[in-house]
Amino acid sequence: MLSRKNFVQSAYAHSSDWAEVRRVADELESFLNSEPVARRITEKNQPGVPSTEIEKIITEKALPLGFQQGSQNLFEHVPNRNLRPDFYLPIGESGILLEVERGKTIQNNMDLLDFWKCHIAERAHYLVLIVPQHLQQSSSSKPSKPFQAVAQRLEAFFMEQNYTNVRGCVVLGY
């Protein structure tokens, strides 16, 4: 069963953009919770399997929802213009970055990199981040709980004194 955490700045909680972000996240959640998809993701969430394998599954739903893969030109105003999100969906005057992680979610701070990318993207103020609930890096390692850690870390950005220009974030844990 998928886990989910929604975070939104109070000024945007009732906005049409946030309603659209929630609608898109609902669609993704429904897709990921379907029995055949959940089974495929469980098969791919194994030691040594790259996040691209999970991303391929997410692509099946993201593209029909209107997301563009690896969208360019979102970071033209920053020195590192080679940044690309996994997926981007324009909404209103803003947009949603959709990022899919697996093995390096917490260990390499990929959740924070994804948040930073959304923070500096000119035309994206919302992030949907898909991460594992449980992760085992190798057959001999102790499992970790990336979803729980990511939700806890990102929650701090949605305390009023810590607001950035990321207006809202949905974390989905597969």
pLDDT of 79 reads 86
pLDDT of 140 reads 73
- Cβ-contact 150, 107 below 8 angstroms: no
**Cα distance between residue 145 and residue 169, in whole Å:** 19
pLDDT of 149 reads 95
pLDDT of 134 reads 87
**Which residues are CB-neighbours of 113 under 8 A, at least 6 positions away?**
none
- Cβ-contact 57, 43 below 8 angstroms: no
pLDDT of 108 reads 85
Judged by phi (left if over 0) then psi (alpha if -120 to 50, else beta), residue 56 lies in: alpha
* pLDDT tens across the length of the chain (174 residues): 899 999 999 999 999 999 999 999 999 999 999 999 999 999 998 888 888 999 999 999 999 999 999 887 888 888 877 789 999 999 999 999 999 998 776 778 999 999 999 999 989 999 999 999 988 776 777 888 999 999 999 999 999 999 999 999 999 999
**Cα distance between residue 155 and residue 119, in whole Å:** 15
Question: What pTM was computed for the model?
Answer: 0.93
**Cα distance between residue 160 and residue 121, in whole Å:** 21
**Cα distance between residue 117 and residue 29, in whole Å:** 23
pLDDT of 92 reads 92
pLDDT of 71 reads 80
Residues 39-46: contacts with CB under 8 Å, at least 24 apart: 41/174, 45/102, 45/132, 45/134, 45/135, 45/174, 46/136
Query: What order do you get walking across the sheet with 87-91 strand by strand?
Result: 3-8, 168-173, 126-131, 94-100, 87-91, 68-69
pLDDT of 132 reads 94
